[in-house]
Amino acid sequence: MRIHNQEEAIAAYVASCGGSIPEGHHVVATCVVDLGFILEDDECLWRVASLPDDEKDGIFGGMTTILGPDGKAWTMSANRNFHDREIAERALTHIYIEGVADLVDPEMLADQVELITQQRDRAIFALPDAARRGELRHVPGDA
pLDDT band at 122 (very low <50, low <70, confident <90, very high): very high
The three-state secondary structure class of 122 is helix
Structural domain count, the chain: 1
Q: pLDDT tens, 57-110?
A: 555 557 889 999 999 999 998 878 788 889 999 999 999 999 999 999 999 999
Q: Are 96 and 39 in contact (CB under 8 A)?
A: yes
pLDDT of residue 47: 92
Higher pLDDT, 143 or 105: 105
How many Cβ atoms sit within 10 Å of the Cβ of residue 48?
25
Work out the angle at residue 73's Cα, subtended by the Cα atoms of residues 67 and 75, and round it to the nearest 5 degrees: 105
The answer to the question of residue 103 being in a domain is yes
Query: pLDDT grade, residue 2 (50/70/90)?
Result: confident
pLDDT band at 126 (very low <50, low <70, confident <90, very high): very high
Residue 143 included in any domain: no
pLDDT of residue 59: 52
pLDDT at 108: 97
Cα-to-chain-centroid distance, residue 40? 20
* Residue 139 belongs to a domain: no
pLDDT higher than threshold 90 for residue 112: yes
Owning domain of residue 79 = 6-132
Asked if residue 55 is part of any domain, the answer here is yes
Domain annotation covers residue 1: no
Answer whether 45's CB lies under 8 Å from 68's CB. yes
Is residue 29 domain-resident? Answer: yes
Q: Has residue 51 been placed in a domain?
A: yes
**Tens-place pLDDT, residues 20-47:** 888 888 899 999 988 887 766 678 999 9
Residue 107 within any structural domain of the chain:
yes
Beta carbons within 8 Å of 102's beta carbon, 6+ residues apart: 70
